[in-house]
Structure 1
Amino acid sequence: MRDALKRGQLAQSLGCNIETIRYYENIGLIGPADRSASGHRLYNKADADRLRFVLRLRQLGFSIGDIRSLLQTINSGDYSCNEIAQVAERHILTIQAKINDLEKLERNLTKITRQCHRGNTPDCAVIDALSKT
């Protein structure tokens, strides 16, 4: 296979780990690679493009389930841009909820740490606040 990459070369070219590629193959996000005569996995441009797409979705915080669903939709060829935009919009809502949760956590922890006198004794307002039920 001309212009094919071995797993290590593919990982290096996309800036990911070999284990990541192996994992995505095992769970079916990318298909099984062709093999060389000596048994090495060989990845073509389409394999690299699909892996790049999966990696980008993961960088954007999409779950494995969401990625699998998106790939199935795309692979079916029976989808509209509107459907894909709706998936992205649902993900944006998930991100916004996580941001809200993190901001609440930050406010609570900031409030707790402001109560700390930062003395050299084991008496600590942070421990006290975190120990309360």
Structure 2
Amino acid sequence: MSAASLTIGEAARRTGVSAKMIRWYEATGLLPPAARSESGYRHYGDADLHTLRFIRRARDLGFSVDAIADLLALWRDRARPSAGVKAIAQEQIADLRRRIAEMEGMARTLEHLAEACCGDERPDCPILDDLAADDHPPEPRRRSRGLAGRGPARGAA
């Protein structure tokens, strides 16, 4: 079967993007609606596969759906200056570094708690005591790896 007329399953196999995510990318506008056969089956061409690979790579780098939409628009605009692309990438770098710092802080806290726990037959456990403590301020809800609750989980791609 040529790339000019691939089913969603074959497009998924060739791009590493699940059929569920392909449908979701169409629904959100990241991917243009697929051509349909007379029986209603989606069919994808070379341009669609190229776009899906672009989206998958951007997702692999942690870009949000909104940032991917911006990057796709810039990618399609051959007359665009590269400054906008660089700015989006630099924002992503800053976000990744912030998340890394947060995770390193979480790891340090857990290491400290694990060191304080005897790990024996006694029920005393500083880890559980810390988790149950009422004196921790609520953490702001973080967006999940770029999708911000706008679709299937990251692992579905």
Same-fold call, TM cutoff 0.5: yes
| Pair 1:120-2:131 in alignment | no
Size of the aligned set, in residue pairs, is: 133
Task: State the alpha-carbon separation in 2 of the partners of residues 128 and 95 from structure 1.
Answer: 31
| Pair 1:31-2:45 in alignment | no
Q: Who wins on radius of gyration, i.e. which is larger?
A: 1
Letter of the 2:129 counterpart? D
RMSD: 1.7
Task: State the alpha-carbon separation in 2 of the partners of residues 28 and 13 from structure 1.
Answer: 21
Letter of the 1:100 counterpart? A
Give the TM-score, by structure 2 length.
Answer: 0.78
Letter of the 2:89 counterpart? A
Task: State the alpha-carbon separation in 1 of the partners of residues 63 and 88 from structure 2.
Answer: 10
**CA deviation string 1:7-59 (max 9, x = no partner):** 01000111221101010001110000111233211101001101110111011
Runs of 4+ in 1 over 4 A off after TM superposition: none
Question: 1:114 is paired with a residue of what secondary structure?
Answer: helix
Alpha-carbon distance, 1:105 to partner? 0.6
**Is the CA contact 2:17–2:52 (under 8 Å) kept in the aligned structure 1?**
no
Matches within 5 A, 1:1-133: 3-132=4-133, 133=135
Task: State the alpha-carbon separation in 1 of the partners of residues 65 and 53 from structure 2.
Answer: 14
Alpha-carbon distance, 1:76 to partner? 4.2
Task: State the alpha-carbon separation in 1 of the partners of residues 59 and 44 from structure 2.
Answer: 20
* Higher RCO, 1 vs 2 (CA within 8 Å, ≥6 residues apart): 2
Task: State the alpha-carbon separation in 1 of the partners of residues 80 and 125 from structure 2.
Answer: 57
Letter of the 1:122 counterpart? P
* Structure with a larger share of its residues in helix: 1
Task: State the alpha-carbon separation in 1 of the partners of residues 65 and 79 from structure 2.
Answer: 21
Structure 2 stretches of 5 or more lacking a match?
136-157
Give the TM-score, by structure 1 length.
Answer: 0.91
Task: State the alpha-carbon separation in 1 of the partners of residues 48 and 120 from structure 2.
Answer: 58
Of residues 14-23 and 65-74 in structure 1, the stretch that sits farther from structure 2 once superposed is: 65-74
